[in-house]
Amino acid sequence: MREHTEFTYGEDANRQKPEIDAPIEDWNTYIYERDNVAGYHMEYWHHAFGCRAWIKVKRDTQTHAILWVGLPQENPEIAL
C-alpha cells in the first residue's frame, strides 16, 4: 500500500503507437484523440516520488477504485 501522492498520472494506456512510417493522420490520431471514459480505464502512472517505475493501472474514473496494476508490458490475465 503506497500513498497516492507518490504517483503521478502519465497517460492513456490504450493508445496504440503507429508504425514509424505510418501516415501523419495516424500520428495525429495517436497524439490528439482520446476517449474520455466514465468507468474502467487503462492508464500509465509514474511512481515519481518512489521507485520511479512506470506502471499500468486499471482505474475506475468515477470512483477511483483500482482494479488491476501491472508493469507496462503486462496485461490482466482475464478480461476485467
Could you say which of 7, 40, 44, 68 contacts other proteins (CB under 8 A)? 44
Nearby residues of 79 by Cβ (< 8 Å), 6 or more positions away: none
Site membership for other proteins, residue 52 (CB under 8 A):
yes
**Whole-number Cα distances in Å, 5 to 38, 42, 50, 62:** 22, 19, 10, 19
Site membership for other proteins, residue 63 (CB under 8 A):
yes
Site membership for other proteins, residue 67 (CB under 8 A):
no
Q: How far is the CB of 4 from other proteins (least distance, A)?
A: 8
How many other CB atoms are found less than 10 A from the CB of residue 46? 16
Nearby residues of 74 by Cβ (< 8 Å), 6 or more positions away: 56
Q: Which residues bind other proteins (CB under 8 A)?
A: 4, 8, 10, 17-18, 20, 22, 24, 27-28, 30-32, 44, 46, 48, 52-54, 62-64, 71-73
